[in-house]
Chains A and B, each alone.
Chain A
Amino acid sequence: MNPATHVLLIEDNPGDADLVRLRLVESNPTIDVSCANRLAEGIVSLKEKTPALVLLDLNLPDSHGAETFRKVLEKAPDVPVVILSGQDDEALAIKALHQGAQDYLVKGGLTSGALDRAMRYAIERQALLRSLEISRKQQLEFKNQFLSHVSHELRTPLTCIHQYVTILLDGLAGDVTPEQRDHLSTVLRSVNQLGAMVRDLLEAARAESGKITLELGCVSIEELIRSAIAMLQPLASQKGVGLEAGVEGGISFVHGDPDRILEVVINLIDNAIKFTPADGAVTVRASRVTTDPDFVCVSVSDTGCGITVEARSLIFERLYQDPNSVDDSRKGLGLGLFIAKELVSLHGGRIWAASDGASGSTFSFTLPLYSLPKLLLPVITYEGRLREAFVLVRFDLRPKSRPARGNWKEVCKHARELLERCVYLDKDLVLPPMRTAGPEQTFFVVASTDLERSPIMISRIRGQMDKLPDLKACGSFELSSVAVPSSDLPAEISLQEKVEEVARRVTEIARAGVGIPINTQEE
């Protein structure tokens, strides 16, 4: 072993620690051993100097069992760990092996030879794992670049076909007979399908390499389902399939990226229509999850051919296509449900399929509810108490002219980033943006400062605005602030109740101002 090898020994029993140290020095007199008798101490040592290996006792005064290993792994994922186990807790050590520990040694029968060998192998294996991980990442990156290139190259001829077909269809090159129009529409449909596939390819690759980012906001799930249905109604009618929504009353807003959730809902409805015969029906529902009140469940049911049990477990895998599906339209790439699964899990929800044999199937996914009290808690409390005062700063953004959708989205994103720059971490909070019908966007900042001092926040925002002339050019802005009362709350109610009450007041103030609903969890 390398003479400069530095080993960190985390062991609380002084007798065991001495013994292990002795065996280590026997195997290599120049070995450099640091000892820690608590996990906290071990973690400090890990940060100060990265060891070649950690010898870890799982049961320490400040941490027990598999949790101990998990914490070490979290702090130093690249350092190999060998578990030191007693005779009675070997099962625990084996559990740690499953979680990524390199080896385990039973303290009773420890020899310097065995220790030396275990350490060598552990270090080698860890190095191998690390290089595999690096090459896996490189391959993913290469695949992404490749797909990005391919998608670009495919889009160019695709655009050409699209352009000329629409030129013909729009009669710009002369009159078109009904039969020709029919054929051209088929071409256009196929071109659009091809375009969607190219997009899915890129999206799937991105999901796989963790490159999808969410822009979280407060989203009305009902509004979202209605717009998805409006978009797909023509397709359903064309096929003679009924399509309707059933949203449970009082469903709160969810915390998510509206565009991404819409993508998932559209994908599920589109699939349902595809697999439902004429005269069938597709129903989209949203309801609270009874077992977990922090989540909403959205489900899409159809009266189609159903899914086999085997298919149900595979259907969310990449490129999977049900071999038994009797479908007259052409299939896609088998990426839609994989992308949907990735998007849902990025939101912290889960997705699954259920089927009653041949009487149709139901695809469901969950999304976290938007909870104002939960968001407010760390901001408006301090050392277990409510902060004395805070204000709600309102930032209205109105476009100077009617902008293209993507551009305005970009402007709103910049506005939000600007606000994020103005707040102090843990002390202020930019509330997630709320969907409004028009292009106007209102942002709210909960600032933990009193009303007299709120001009400081406002001037900070103005100061940042001056650095962004482009943003200023796009829209007009208005800033105002109002104090949120909290000193009148009865002393006997719990902190949680106080926070909920404040959340209710914030909601009320915001509502009174612009008529935008910000739901608290209690609604």
Chain B
Amino acid sequence: MQSKQMDPNQERNPTMPTQKILIVDDDPDLRQALRLRLRANQYDTVSAVDGYSAISQAYKERPDLIILDLGLPAGDGFVVLDRLRRDDKLSAIPVVVLTARDPQNNEQRVLESGATAFFQKPADNHELLEVIRHSLSQCGGKGLPS
């Protein structure tokens, strides 16, 4: 694992403690791609395939950040956002929405529902990583002194 490739888009300071990101997407190929990209940036990842498991994984894993798709089986992204926001234990976790849906009809609603940022797929890797890094530094993830 020592030879693990570094991402040229990398934003993080590698000396920081590892932070955990929950990837919620129903497309396995995309989950895998995000996992590769995030791990190359020294993030730990866990994943969920639908709205229901997103909430249970959030409880179990207590991620520092969630990347959330909107079109999901068993409770779409808005349901997940709503559940997260209403739960005291989970409401502080920043959520970055990454969806193929149209920003014109969804971006405002997503932000009003408590998400930190909205990205339409395919998103620019550099921008996505920058927002993830920024959101984590704002919310003071688990790894940081609170």
A-B contact pairs, 10 of them (CB 8 A): A148-B102, A152-B102, A155-B120, A156-B100, A159-B121, A163-B34, A170-B40, A172-B40, A173-B5, A406-B103
Closest chain A CB from B91 CB (angstroms):
13
| Chain A proximity mask over B92-131: 1 for CB below 8 Å, otherwise 0 | 0000000011111101100110001110111101010001
Q: Are A152 and B100 in contact (CB under 8 A)?
A: yes
Q: Which residues of A from 360 to 398 have beta carbons under 8 Å from B?
A: none
When distances are taken between beta carbons in the complex, the residues of chain B under 8 Å from A173 are 5, 36
Which residue of B30, B37, B111 contacts A159 across the interface (Cβ within 8 Å)?
B30
When distances are taken between beta carbons in the complex, the residues of chain A under 8 Å from B107 are 406, 410
| Chain B proximity mask over A193-220: 1 for CB below 8 Å, otherwise 0 | 0010000001000100000000000000
Q: Are B121 and A156 in contact (CB under 8 A)?
A: yes
Which residue of B37, B100, B118, B120 contacts A172 across the interface (Cβ within 8 Å)?
B37
A159 to B121, CA, bound (A): 6
- Chain B: CB-nearest residue to A206: B104
Q: Are A164 and B33 in contact (CB under 8 A)?
A: yes
Q: Are B27 and A160 in contact (CB under 8 A)?
A: yes
Q: Are A406 and B118 in contact (CB under 8 A)?
A: yes
A402 to B27, CA, bound (A): 31
Which residue of A163, A202, A410 contacts B30 across the interface (Cβ within 8 Å)?
A163
A437 interface hit (Cβ, 8 Å): no
A94 to B105, CA, bound (A): 45
Q: Are A404 and B121 in contact (CB under 8 A)?
A: no
A167 to B71, CA, bound (A): 24
When distances are taken between beta carbons in the complex, the residues of chain B under 8 Å from A159 are 30, 100, 121-123
A interface vs B, CB < 8 Å?
148, 151-153, 155-156, 158-160, 162-164, 166-167, 170-174, 191, 195, 202, 206, 401-402, 404, 406-407, 410, 470
A455 to B56, CA, bound (A): 50
When distances are taken between beta carbons in the complex, the residues of chain B under 8 Å from A202 are 102
A170 to B102, CA, bound (A): 28
Q: Are A167 and B134 in contact (CB under 8 A)?
A: no
- Chain B: CB-nearest residue to A203: B104
- Chain B: CB-nearest residue to A162: B122
A151 to B104, CA, bound (A): 13
B interface vs A, CB < 8 Å?
5, 7-9, 27, 29-30, 33-34, 36-37, 40, 71, 100-105, 107-108, 111-112, 116-118, 120-123, 125, 127, 131, 134, 138
Q: Are B101 and A152 in contact (CB under 8 A)?
A: yes
- Chain B: CB-nearest residue to A195: B122
A195 to B122, CA, bound (A): 8
When distances are taken between beta carbons in the complex, the residues of chain B under 8 Å from A191 are 122
Using known A-B contacts A191-B122, A401-B138, determine if residue A172 contacts B112 with beta carbons closer than 8 Å. no
- Specify the main secondary structure of chain B where it touches its partner: helix
A164 to B125, CA, bound (A): 11
Q: Are A407 and B111 in contact (CB under 8 A)?
A: yes
A407 to B111, CA, bound (A): 8
Extra contacts besides A151-B102, A155-B122 (20): CB < 8 Å: A148-B102, A152-B100, A153-B100, A159-B30, A159-B123, A160-B29, A162-B122, A163-B33, A163-B37, A163-B122, A167-B37, A171-B5, A172-B5, A172-B7, A172-B36, A172-B37, A173-B36, A406-B107, A407-B111, A407-B116
- Chain A: CB-nearest residue to B40: A172
Which of A153, A155, A159: most chain B CB closer than 10 A? A159
Instruction: Across the A-B interface, give the 9 residue pairs with the lowest CB-CB distance, nearest first.
Output: A163-B33, A155-B100, A162-B122, A159-B121, A159-B122, A404-B117, A172-B40, A172-B5, A152-B100
Q: Are A167 and B36 in contact (CB under 8 A)?
A: yes
Q: Are A407 and B33 in contact (CB under 8 A)?
A: no
Closest chain A CB from B29 CB (angstroms):
5
When distances are taken between beta carbons in the complex, the residues of chain A under 8 Å from B105 are 148
A195 to B134, CA, bound (A): 27
Using known A-B contacts A171-B5, A172-B36, determine if residue A166 contacts B125 with beta carbons closer than 8 Å. yes
A407 to B131, CA, bound (A): 11
Q: Are A407 and B37 in contact (CB under 8 A)?
A: no
Which of A151, A173, A404: most chain B CB closer than 10 A? A404
When distances are taken between beta carbons in the complex, the residues of chain A under 8 Å from B36 are 167, 172-173
A166 to B41, CA, bound (A): 14
A472 to B107, CA, bound (A): 19
A152 to B102, CA, bound (A): 8
When distances are taken between beta carbons in the complex, the residues of chain B under 8 Å from A153 are 100
Q: Are A170 and B9 in contact (CB under 8 A)?
A: yes
A171 to B10, CA, bound (A): 12
When distances are taken between beta carbons in the complex, the residues of chain B under 8 Å from A171 are 5, 8
A151 to B125, CA, bound (A): 21
Which residue of B8, B118, B120 contacts A407 across the interface (Cβ within 8 Å)?
B118
Using known A-B contacts A167-B36, A191-B122, determine if residue A401 contacts B134 with beta carbons closer than 8 Å. yes
When distances are taken between beta carbons in the complex, the residues of chain B under 8 Å from A401 are 134, 138
When distances are taken between beta carbons in the complex, the residues of chain A under 8 Å from B30 are 156, 159-160, 163
Closest chain A CB from B73 CB (angstroms):
14
When distances are taken between beta carbons in the complex, the residues of chain B under 8 Å from A167 are 33, 36-37
A172 to B38, CA, bound (A): 11
Q: Are B101 and A170 in contact (CB under 8 A)?
A: no
When distances are taken between beta carbons in the complex, the residues of chain A under 8 Å from B29 are 160, 164
Which of A153, A206, A406, A470: most chain B CB closer than 10 A? A406
A153 to B34, CA, bound (A): 19
When distances are taken between beta carbons in the complex, the residues of chain B under 8 Å from A174 are 5
A156 to B117, CA, bound (A): 19
A163 to B34, CA, bound (A): 8
Closest chain A CB from B131 CB (angstroms):
5
- Chain B: CB-nearest residue to A148: B102
When distances are taken between beta carbons in the complex, the residues of chain A under 8 Å from B123 are 159
Closest chain A CB from B69 CB (angstroms):
9
